[in-house]
Amino acid sequence: MGKKKLKYLICLEGILLRKKIRNNELTLGSWITLGNASIAEILANAGFDWLVIDLEHTTISLEQAGEIIRTIELSGVTSLVRLTSNDENQIKRVMDAGAQGIVVPMVKNTKDAIRAVAATRYPPLGNRGVGLARAQQYGVSFKEYLAWQADINSGPIVIVQIEHIDAVDNLKEILSVSGVDAFIIGPYDLSCSMGIPGEFENPEFVKTIDRIIKTSSELNAVSGMHIVEPDKEELSKVIEAGYKFIAYSVDIRMLDVAARDGLDVHRGIKR
């Protein structure tokens, strides 16, 4: 492997994913909530385009996240991190650990979106503090990394979560922010913000989802959806509906569903 190729290895998978997103191609990923690198390796080797390490609703530490990022990328898959909040300090740290992008929860307006994008990039494009860590190969590839993070066509991936009715009202402006690559709907939080928690068949919720899709289609934006249960039929429906950035299930639900399916067969035999 040539020296130049080695320097770019850490960013290569992210560049390829960014290209697919910009071309509005379908990509499939999944969600990691358990702080075990072996689980990340198993999911990466399964063939997903990207994997999200979830810091928002888990006990995964930054140290564990760093090891999981390393494992995912060594398996040839793009690593993204869902933040606990739109926190520039946390963004800086996960980017320095080698994450190739972020998933930002509860983005409600353009100010939130601009803030997230700026935190992934060094001045003058953003406000990210400069440090030497794994992302820059501990200083060896700083110049190459500097060029990568400044390139709007191949730099850090920023996915915003649309999970509040305020975000729906501001969706056109949010998706027009330079550096926002795609959005993913958070159905539970969105329904809660509407006063109808978990009522996904409620006509008002259905109307709101249709409104989101209509707006994103007008802007040719990349729309995303998280299918929490490992349901292949639901995945097919979401693909047919035109979503392009799709998270298929989550590690804990895959484990639980597979275990219970096996037990159901056993119980059926005993009966």
- Exactly one of 57, 164, 226, 266 is catalytic; which is it? 57
Tell me if 98 sits within 8 A of 69, measured CB to CB. yes
**Sequence-ordered list of residues with C-beta below 8 angstroms from that of 143, at least 6 positions apart, any chain:** none
Tell me if 190 sits within 8 A of 162, measured CB to CB. yes
- In the residue annotation, 57 being an active-site residue is answered as yes
Handedness of CA 32, 36, 37, 40 (dihedral sign): negative
CA-to-CA separations, 249 to 24, 182, 227, 267, in angstroms, rounded = 21, 19, 5, 26
Residue 271 CA to residue 213 CA, distance in Å, equals 47
Task: List residues with catalytic annotation.
Answer: 57
